[in-house]
Amino acid sequence: MSRVPSSCPSGFQGRYTVVSGDTMFLIAQRFGVSLQALINANPHISNPNSIFPGDVLCVPAPTPVCDLQVLTLRLLTEAGQPLPIIDGVVQLNDFVIVRATFNRPVSRAFFFLEPTGTETCELAQLIGIDCPSAVTGVAEILWEVPPGTLGRVFVVACINSCCAKSEEILVVRNT
């Protein structure tokens, strides 16, 4: 006996009748929606791992594409000047402006320092958070740099459920 929803939620793109070989994952991919969104739109399917030919599914609207990009990440003096770079390593002062620009406004930006000699994002420490204005694509913090700092600085910014990570910049503060 086929399972058919009594109605579909608003904002769905249509109904789909399951055929042999279908899985919820494959159907979600085919229609450009997340697996969780497809499962949530079909509460009449009690076990999403068991669908059968003839079952009818509500297909939600496509998941929007995340187009957020970090355009630049810059490390500057308190006066806004670029810091010196020696052998590809930015030489830090006591206080550094860490400024990121984005291709569109973000709701929050998280600035991290990851010690060298670790895997990507392993042991990363949060060095600051910025909530930029809704009309700007720039976020910045003033970072008080501890002596002996050595690592990679990067930023992760988000708007809604769309996030982007910058390139990593190698940094050092010897004194």
One domain for residues 97 and 141: yes
How many domains are contained in the chain? Answer: 2
**Which of these, 109, 103, 118, lies nearest to 150 by C-alpha position?**
118
One domain for residues 24 and 100: no
Cα–Cα–Cα angle for 119, 96, 155, rounded to 5 degrees: 40
One domain for residues 87 and 159: yes
Helices assigned H by DSSP within the chain:
24-31, 35-40
Would you say residue 3 lies in a domain?
no
Would you say residue 7 lies in a domain?
no
**Which of these, 74, 40, 72, 73, lies nearest to 57 by C-alpha position?**
40
One domain for residues 83 and 141: yes
Cβ–Cβ < 8 Å for 157, 110: yes
At 170, the pLDDT band (50, 70, 90 cuts) reads very high
- In terms of residue numbers, what domain contains 51? 12-60
pLDDT digits (tens, 9 = 90+) for 58-114: 999 886 778 899 999 999 999 999 999 999 999 999 999 999 999 988 888 999 999
Cβ–Cβ < 8 Å for 61, 68: no
Token digits of residue 96 = 């550094």
One domain for residues 98 and 38: no
Cβ–Cβ < 8 Å for 106, 68: yes
Coil, helix or strand at residue 143: strand
More confident residue, 12 or 76: 76
The pLDDT of residue 17 = 95
One domain for residues 122 and 151: yes
Would you say residue 50 lies in a domain?
yes
The pLDDT of residue 162 = 85
pLDDT digits (tens, 9 = 90+) for 109-162: 999 999 887 666 668 889 988 876 656 889 999 999 999 999 999 999 988 878
